[in-house]
A and B are shown apart, each in its own frame.
Chain A
Amino acid sequence: MLRRRRLLQQLRVHHADALNWALICCDYDREMAGDVLQTVYVKVLEGNARFAGRAMLRTWLLGVVRNTAREVRRNNVALLVPLPDKTARQSEMSGSDVIDRAMDELSDMQRQVIYLVFHREFTLEGAASILDANVGSIRRHYHRAKQKIGSRLASNDQSDVEKPYQSIL
């Protein structure tokens, strides 16, 4: 009982992070992210996913979320609604949304790496632990994602706002 109570407290602390990460892993599908997160909580509380202490609790939890999201998406592949065409969205967006466009063009893995490293400020090693991949692979995804964003910025010579980024990428 005590262990369960402590686990619930820990899960409550990391709930916001886990939910955002589940949304990222589920292509911003709120219902699916909720299902994934609930499955994760059941796994954790029933001991089907155990924290061995090899990483930080948050890192481990995000890894469980990611694996569960993969399982759910694999099982529901026929039910997935195709996302709107990204090229169609481009025509609707203004030139100042060039980074948004670039982010939409990234692959799922690249977007996840960018999210973990930029938004959640994980190291590449931490991201590799969450994504269950080796560091070299994660580093390659990270650099390719940055290259894509850089090339998008370079090609967007109409906007003056994003130009300061180009020299950095």
Chain B
Amino acid sequence: MTNPMLKNHINRYFDDRLQSVGGVEFDALAPRSRRDWPVAALAVGALVGVMLWQWPEQSSTLKDELLATTSRQSDADVFLDYQGRRFLYEYLNWRSNNALRTNSRSGRLISPWLNHRSLMVSLSRSKRLPYKTCNSRWLCNRGFNGICIRRKPPCGIGPNLKSATNSGRT
């Protein structure tokens, strides 16, 4: 049997110590429930929205890059008007995956930047959409989306690599 006064005193001791430390709310400690997925979806949506909002700046960067490859601004505008951004992104993606290629004949390394630049110049000057298939009679099938990048195709939208890499057909 314990004295109630002593018990009260000990209880007061614990109460004082615990109150001096302070409490923590349950919601601050409990892990998130799966019911919170709408919040996560909203966060993802906001992120995507910000990315889409930033898209014009990215396109302007592309435009600047394109302008650096051609002296005529109208050509660059035409290229962008043809929704060339999507093509350019796909092409750059493909380009990064095939950055280090060698010419099958000469064995020399094909510079991706030179290819890229020459392709941009050619595309911007042609004012035409890329073809799905390459009409080249040399039947080049190594280009992205049917566009010949190894030799100058008759369609006129591929790069002429002859001067850039000395790998073209003479």
> A residues engaging B (CB < 8 A)?
1, 4-5, 8, 11-12, 15-16, 19-20, 23-24, 28, 30, 33-34, 37-38, 41-42, 45, 99-100, 103, 114-115, 118-119, 146, 149, 164-165, 168-169
With beta carbons under 8 angstroms apart, the residue of A8, A33, A118 that contacts B11 is: A118
Further contacts, 9 of them, CB under 8 A, given A8-B33, A11-B30: A4-B34, A5-B33, A24-B14, A28-B18, A103-B10, A114-B10, A119-B11, A165-B9, A168-B6
Contact A99 B13 (CB under 8 A): yes
Nearest Cβ distance between residue B83 and chain A, in whole angstroms? 45
Could you tell me which B residues sit within 8 Å of A by CB distance? 1-3, 5-7, 9-11, 13-14, 17-18, 20-24, 26, 28-31, 33-34
Task: Report yes or no: A165 in contact with B3, Cβ–Cβ below 8 A.
Answer: yes
> Of B6, B7, B31, which contacts A41 at CB under 8 A?
B31
Q: Which residues of A contact B1 (CB under 8 A)?
A: 168
| Best-buried of B21, B28, B29 by chain A (most CB within 10 Å) | B29
| Other-chain contact of B2, A38, A99, A118 (Cβ < 8 Å) | A118
Describe A's contact surface by its main secondary structure: helix
User: Which residues of chain B come closer than 8 Å to A8, judged between CB atoms?
Assistant: 30, 33
Q: How many Å lie between the Cα of A1 and that of B3 in the bound state? A: 48
Contact assessment for B30 and A169 in the assembled complex, using a CB-CB cutoff below 8 Å: no
Chain A positions within 8 Å of B26 at CB level: 11-12, 15
A45 to B30, CA, bound (A): 9
Chain A's nearest CB lies how many Å from the CB of B7? 6
Q: If A23-B18, A28-B21, A30-B22 touch, does A169 touch B10 (CB 8 Å cutoff)?
A: no
Are A168 and B2 in touch, CB under 8 angstroms?
Answer: yes
Q: Is the CB of A1 within 8 A of B34?
A: yes
B residues less than 8 Å from A41 (CB atoms): 29-31
Known: A1-B34, A8-B33, A41-B30. A164 touches B3 (CB 8 A): yes
Q: Is the CB of B5 within 8 A of A164?
A: yes
Chain B residues with CB below 8 A from A20, complex form: 14, 18
Contacting residues, chain A, for B18 (C-beta < 8 A): 20, 23-24, 28
Q: Do the beta carbons of B6 and A19 come within 8 Å of each other? A: no
Which among A5, A12, A28, A118 is the interface contact of B7 at CB below 8 angstroms?
Answer: A118
State the CA gap A37–B28 with chains docked (Å).
Answer: 10
What residues of B have a CB within 8 angstroms of the CB of A45 in the complex? 31
A99 → chain B closest CB, angstroms: 5
Smallest Cβ-Cβ distance to B32: which chain A residue: A45
The distance in angstroms between the C-alpha atoms of A169 and B2, with both chains bound, is 7
B29 CB contacts on chain A under 8 angstroms:
15, 34, 37-38, 41
Is the pair B31, A42 in contact by a Cβ cutoff of 8 Å?
A: yes
Whether the pair A118, B10 counts as a contact (CB closer than 8 A) is: yes
Return 17 A-B CB contacts under 8 Å, by A number.
A1-B34, A4-B34, A8-B30, A16-B23, A20-B18, A23-B21, A28-B17, A28-B18, A38-B31, A41-B29, A99-B13, A100-B13, A115-B14, A118-B14, A119-B11, A149-B6, A168-B1
